[in-house]
């Protein structure tokens, strides 16, 4: 009986250590995991690299100046943000709906920045007489940058 008791104690001790290691593993996974949207998706590192590369090109366009470059940069920045939001939330048909559903993934400043930037994009797309000044273009791109940083892609 003592042999069987000792063997049971070793098995119980081994099981205990396995549980401890599993708990530590889950803790690390929780701490170091990427933010996931309601759809369970994350932005992959490949997407992040492509997004960062495209972002640098958009910043260069704004530095070059000119209303056409500014408009293009803002519209493309909005597409980037929308692409990311689509990967994070599901069952939203419009960018506005996706922004509302993704509110918890932004700081309050980042959320407001995303909305302000998107409003400028909408004015560009829907108001033919909207004049985009250089300073407004820079401010709008900074707003997109804040939003994308909150989502951990920049």
Q: At residue 10, does pLDDT exceed 80?
A: no
Quickly state the pLDDT bin for 24 (edges 50, 70, 90).
low
- Verify that 68 and 92 share a domain, yes or no: yes
pLDDT of residue 5: 53
**Residue 123 confidence (pLDDT) above 50:** yes
Q: Tell me, yes or no, whether 40 lies in a domain.
A: no
Q: What confidence category does residue 78 fall into, taking pLDDT thresholds of 50, 70 and 90?
A: very high
Provide the domain limits for residue 58: 45-150
* pLDDT higher than 80, residue 30: no
Residue 15 lies in a domain: yes
Total domains present in the chain: 2
Same domain? 92 vs 121: yes
Which letter, b or e, does each residue of 2-18 get, where b requires 16 or more Cβ atoms within 10 Å of its Cβ? eeeeeeeeeeeeeeeee
Q: CA-to-CA distance for 74 and 141, rounded, in angstroms? A: 7
Residues 92 and 19 in one domain: no
Predicted TM-score (pTM) above 0.75: no
How confident is the model at residue 81, as a pLDDT? 96
């Amino acid at each position: 009986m003592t042999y069987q008791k000792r063997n049971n104690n070793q098995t119980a001790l081994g099981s205990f250590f396995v549980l401890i290691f599993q708990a530590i593993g889950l803790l690390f996974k929780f701490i170091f995991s990427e933010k996931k949207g309601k759809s369970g998706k994350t932005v992959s590192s490949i997407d992040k690299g492509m997004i960062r590369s495209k972002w640098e090109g958009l910043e260069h366009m704004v530095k070059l100046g000119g209303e056409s470059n500014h408009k293009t940069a803002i519209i493309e920045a909005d597409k980037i943000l929308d692409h990311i939001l689509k990967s994070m939330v599901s069952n939203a048909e419009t960018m506005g709906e996706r922004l509302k559903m993704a509110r918890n993934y932004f700081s309050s400043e980042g959320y407001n920045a995303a909305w302000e930037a998107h409003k400028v994009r909408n004015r560009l797309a829907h108001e033919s007489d909207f004049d985009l000044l250089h300073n407004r273009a820079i401010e709008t791109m900074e707003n997109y940058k804040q939003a994308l940083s909150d989502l951990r892609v920049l």
